[in-house]
Amino acid sequence: MTTTTEESAFGLLYGSGAESQATRRENFERFIHLLEERRDHQKPVVVIIDAAETGMGKSTLGIQISRRLDPGFGLNRFAFAGHELGPIYTSLPRDRFSMVQVDEPRGLLSRGGRRDEELQYIISLLFTQRKNRIGTILIAAQKEMFDSLILNRLAPYWLFIRRPGVAEVRRSWRGPNLKKSQRYYPYDRARISEIGFRSLDRDPFFERYMDLAIERNRAYFAEGPKGGGRRPPPQSKTPDDTSLTGPDRAEPSTGGGGEGPSTKCARCERVFDNVHNLETHIWAAHGGPTKKD
């Protein structure tokens, strides 16, 4: 059951007489209020964030939400792989609410069962978050990467960033409306207000986060998810090239073919510098691999 206050706030988000006069920034404040209501009533606070394209501010929006709900949110609350999430959860105090951000876990891009293994591990951890009073922001190139998490009704909210600084808010269906389908995800598709969020480009905390994200990303490519010895990506020439939020940051290969698996997309013929970036591109641009890949 949702509270009267929560339903009233949803009315403002999903359409009312006052909604037409509201700004996107005001809608952001209303959305934060919804999450605060859930936090204060000890209901799960789990939000998935994805975007139409890379570099549109998924991590930026997640940080702003986390900092509003948890004044103690810091760099020690970021996980970049499923196995990093467990130690963070168990280290958090149980006497107050805490936020954690899972930033595009790389194992969700893997084949050969590793994706399912990492996703199921994240799901098992989310089942404990109400008892431990933990909120979680889950960031991915596409929400479909969290498919079984969504269908297990563990993510009450989904934010889709349509363009930089602007996101759509959707909430999961309830009760008999829930449909389990691989092609249709159980979120309310009714007309909703957009929320606005600001850039954090000059925020010192965001700059430290970017340094951490770059370090973790390069470590992943160098070592692989289980020490598999992936080749590190080429050194960037500008600060923008160091972002790790999606496939379009990969530089196309310009050298000879060499040995090893193909890094050319079979559908759009784009060439990548390694197999991991090709897999990321296939998920983000084409919705996942097919027999053609």
Cα 174 from chain centroid (whole Å): 22
| Backbone phi, psi, residue 32, to 5° | -60, -40
Cβ neighbours for 27, distance < 8 A, ≥ 6 positions apart: 12, 13, 169, 193, 194, 195, 196
- CA–CA separation, 95 and 239 (whole Å): 40
pLDDT reading at 224 higher than 80: no
CATH of 4-200, one of 3.30.720.200, 3.40.50.300, 3.40.50.720, 3.40.50.1100: 3.40.50.300
Q: Which residue has the higher pLDDT, 33 or 181?
A: 33
Report percent pLDDT > 70 for the chain.
Answer: 63
* Domain spans in the chain, listed from the N-terminal domain onward: 4-200, 250-293
- Helix (H) / strand (E) element for 251: namely none
pLDDT reading at 251 higher than 50: no
Question: Which residue from 98, 152, 104, 93 is spatially nearest to 124, judged by alpha carbons?
Answer: 152
Q: 189-203: per-residue pLDDT in tens?
A: 545 578 889 999 889
SS3 219: helix
Please tell me the total number of residues recorded for the chain in this structure: 293
Give residue 10's pLDDT band: very low, low, confident or very high (50, 70, 90).
low
Give residue 280's pLDDT band: very low, low, confident or very high (50, 70, 90).
low
For residues 245-269, average pLDDT: 52
pLDDT for position 254: 38
Measured CA distances, 264 to 49, 77, 217, 253 (Å)? 28, 36, 22, 9
What's the one-letter identity of residue 116? Answer: D
- pTM for the full model? 0.68
